[in-house]
Amino acid sequence: MSAVAQAAEFADQFRDPVLAKGVSQVATATVLAALVVGVSRLRGLDLERELGVALTRGLVQIVAMGSIVGVLLTVDFVWSGAILLLMIGGATWISKNRGEGLPGVVRVSFAAIAFGAGLVIVVMTIAGAIEPTVRNLVPVGSMIIANSMQINSLALDRFRGELRSNRAEIEAGLALGAPPSAVIAEHVRTGVRASLIPIVDSLKSLGWVWIPGIMAGMILSGENPIYAALYQFVIMAMIFGAGGLTSVTSSLLIGTYVFTDAEQLKEIGDATDDGASGA
Amino acid sequence: MSPEHRKAESRSPSIKLEARELTRVVDGVRIVDSISVRIREFEVFVVVGPSGSGKSSFLRLLNRLDEPTEGTVLLDGVDYREYPPRELRKRVGLVPQDPALVDGSVYENVVRGPGLRGEAVDDRRVETTLRRLGLDGYAERDAADLSGGEAQRVALARTLVNGPEVLLLDEPTSSLDSRAEARVESLLRDLSLTVVLVTHDERQAERLGERAMRLRDGRVERIGTAREVVA
């Protein structure tokens, strides 16, 4: 598609009549949000300014993102890989905060997310579960990457905690002449298990505690509910598969970075404040 | 080094372990500062000194749990950096002050070295070691239920079962009652091993040590016979 055609398509987004409907919905939602601001003022919570800024900022950010996605969806299919790679880069940047203090955290996070999410996206695209179009690959891929990022963050956070609280035990094992990989195997397992708890719980509660967004959206747009349910399961399974691969890769790789060539356990730093809230 | 020290050193028939200008700098502080000492085969060499004098850091360097900033250690005359770290640590076993036992039974802890390396366990050796440390019938006990003194003895058994040639002990009897302490001391005398013992108990240093070294601020203050050093 030429640049002129892309620009025209981008501009068309803002002429779509559905936007008027969207603006009226935003107005209604804003009234409800304003009620919360009013309650805050009445009850002396002193949150009016913060709530106001958060609402405005949220609206601007999400509309900006919608516009960017609109542009991204007009590019050629071959750009999908670059867009997803950029997303993996962003996910690495956010995820590294959780693993702050662990040596090699950026390289490990990038490799783990790229491998876990990338492999699942490629396999499921080849299998036909994800249509090979930008419109499908980018949103579904981003969902898989985002979940891999969260799982990677959880795995790194837990693994760092394990190393810090079990340093004496790990060094006692090394002092016996044991291989580092064997000494930390239990801690790697703990990190992987802990990181997968949220997705396992989501799978267990699927359908009876919550109806996830994609399934709800498909039903609302008139899709066969059984097919919507099946596709939702496919999505959850992809997220689980990508997350599991990411977590295992991340934990195994980081396990090699925490030791020196002489098989000494490196100093493991604490999480920064930024890291505690970064992901 | 004083003539007295040189005399003590020169009596060595066979040097098992030798620290040469061993130094460790952390955050600009020389926590171990140019320590040179020769330790003879089968002797009990004691390291004494006030808290923070670098005793434990010195032991960690001998086991290469930490990397020297300067200097090195010779094991049987060979620079220890030439040995694969696992082989070195198996031969030069460290018993840390914190037993750091893992969840599981006493037996699982005692066989941890060979277990982690995927090697066969010599159950007869385990049984003999536990008996010599007064831990008969402890094999199936949960390690989490042990007293501090019992855990310390299990940590010693864990290193002995690993078959070291040199035993590095960091305050091995600090949590033991007098009876258990006497038993461990008797065992250390009877072992055909080279022992480097860190202790704050100067009486114990005199009882067990043939030679001793006093550290202060990471440096050697004195080396000589145990009696001379603790006097």
Give tens-digit pLDDT for B115-125: 999 999 889 99
Strand B211-216 relative to strand B219-225, pairing? antiparallel
| CB–CB contact A182 B117 (8 Å) | yes
A168, A260, A263 member nearest B96 (Cβ): A168
Residue-averaged pLDDT of chain A = 86
Residue-averaged pLDDT of chain B = 92
Chain B residues contacting A via beta carbons under 8 Å = 63-67, 81, 85-91, 93-94, 96, 98-102, 112-113, 116-118, 155, 158-159, 162
Whether A279 has a pLDDT exceeding 60, the answer reads no
A262 CB neighbours in chain B (<8 A) are 64, 67, 81, 85
Our CA-based measurement puts residue A92 at a distance from the nearest CA of chain B, in whole angstroms, of: 31
Q: What is the pLDDT of residue B7?
A: 43
Does A183 contact B at CB distance below 8 Å?
yes
| CB–CB contact B96 A178 (8 Å) | no
Contact A180, A255 (CB under 8 A): yes
> Which has more pLDDT, B88 or B10?
B88
Q: What is the pLDDT of residue A102?
A: 92
What are the structure tokens assigned to B67, written together? 């990397």
Average pLDDT over residues A38-54: 82
Give tens-digit pLDDT for B156-215: 999 999 999 999 999 988 888 888 899 889 888 888 899 999 998 889 999 999 999 999
Question: Which amino acid belongs to residue A184?
Answer: I
Chain B residue whose CA is closest to A267: B66
Our CA-based measurement puts residue A153 at a distance from the nearest CA of chain B, in whole angstroms, of: 27
B94, B102, B117 member nearest A175 (Cβ): B94
> Which of A20-24, A190-194, A208-212, A274-278 is predicted with the least confidence, judged by mean pLDDT?
A274-278
B66, B86, B100 member nearest A172 (Cβ): B100
Contact A116, A243 (CB under 8 A): yes
Alpha-carbon gap, residue B78 to B90, rounded angstroms: 16
Q: Where are the alpha helices (DSSP H) in chain B?
A: 3-10, 55-62, 85-91, 106-110, 112-117, 123-132, 148-161, 178-190, 202-208, 226-230
| CB–CB contact A168 B98 (8 Å) | yes
Q: How confident is the model at residue B5 (pLDDT cuts 50, 70, 90)?
A: very low
B87 CB neighbours in chain A (<8 A) are 177
Our CA-based measurement puts residue B163 at a distance from the nearest CA of chain A, in whole angstroms, of: 10
A174 CB neighbours in chain B (<8 A) are 65, 89
Q: What is the pLDDT of residue A118?
A: 95
B81, B89, B117 member nearest A175 (Cβ): B89
Contact A160, A184 (CB under 8 A): no
| CB–CB contact A176 B99 (8 Å) | no
Contact A114, A252 (CB under 8 A): no
Question: HSE of B218 in the Cβ direction (CA atoms, 13 Å)?
Answer: 14
> Which of A11-25, A181-195, B86-100, B111-125 is predicted with the least confidence, judged by mean pLDDT?
A11-25
Cα dihedral A61, A63, A67, A70 sign: positive
Q: How confident is the model at residue A6 (pLDDT cuts 50, 70, 90)?
A: low
A168, A176, A263 member nearest B116 (Cβ): A176
Does A172 contact B at CB distance below 8 Å?
yes
Chain A residue whose CA is closest to B114: A178
Q: Helix, strand or coil for residue B67?
A: coil
Alpha-carbon gap, residue B87 to A217, rounded angstroms: 61
Contact A238, A199 (CB under 8 A): no
3-state SS of chain A is CCHHHHHHHHHHHCCCCHHHHHHHHHHHHHHHHHHHHHHHHHCCCCCHHHHHHHHHHHHHHHHHHHHHHHHHCCCCHHHHHHHHHHHHHHHHHHHHHHCCCCCCHHHHHHHHHHHHHHHHHHHHHHHCCCCCCHHHHHHHHHHHHHHHHHHHHHHHHHHHHHHHHCHHHHHHHHHCCCCHHHHCHHHHHHHHHHHHHHHHHHHHHECCCECCHHHHHHHHCCCCHHHHHHHHHHHHHHHHHHHHHHHHHHHHHHHHHCECCCCCECCCCCCCHHHHHCC
A171, A182, A263 member nearest B85 (Cβ): A263
Chain A residue whose CA is closest to B65: A264
Chain B residue whose CA is closest to A173: B113
| CB–CB contact A177 B113 (8 Å) | yes
Q: What is the pLDDT of residue A274?
A: 43
Chain B residue whose CA is closest to A167: B100
Give tens-digit pLDDT for A178-221: 999 999 999 999 999 999 998 888 888 877 766 677 788 888 88
Our CA-based measurement puts residue B116 at a distance from the nearest CA of chain A, in whole angstroms, of: 6
| CB–CB contact A177 B87 (8 Å) | yes
| CB–CB contact B117 A260 (8 Å) | no
What are the structure tokens assigned to B224, written together? 């000589």
Our CA-based measurement puts residue A233 at a distance from the nearest CA of chain B, in whole angstroms, of: 38
Q: Helix, strand or coil for residue B50?
A: coil
Alpha-carbon gap, residue B31 to B52, rounded angstroms: 8
Residue A213 pairs in a beta bridge with none
A172, A179, A186 member nearest B86 (Cβ): A179
ipTM of this predicted complex? 0.90
Q: What is the pLDDT of residue A144?
A: 93
A189 CB neighbours in chain B (<8 A) are none
> Which has more pLDDT, A213 or A261?
A261
What is the number of helices (H) and of strands (E) in chain B?
10, 10
Domain ranges of chain A: 4-72, 78-278
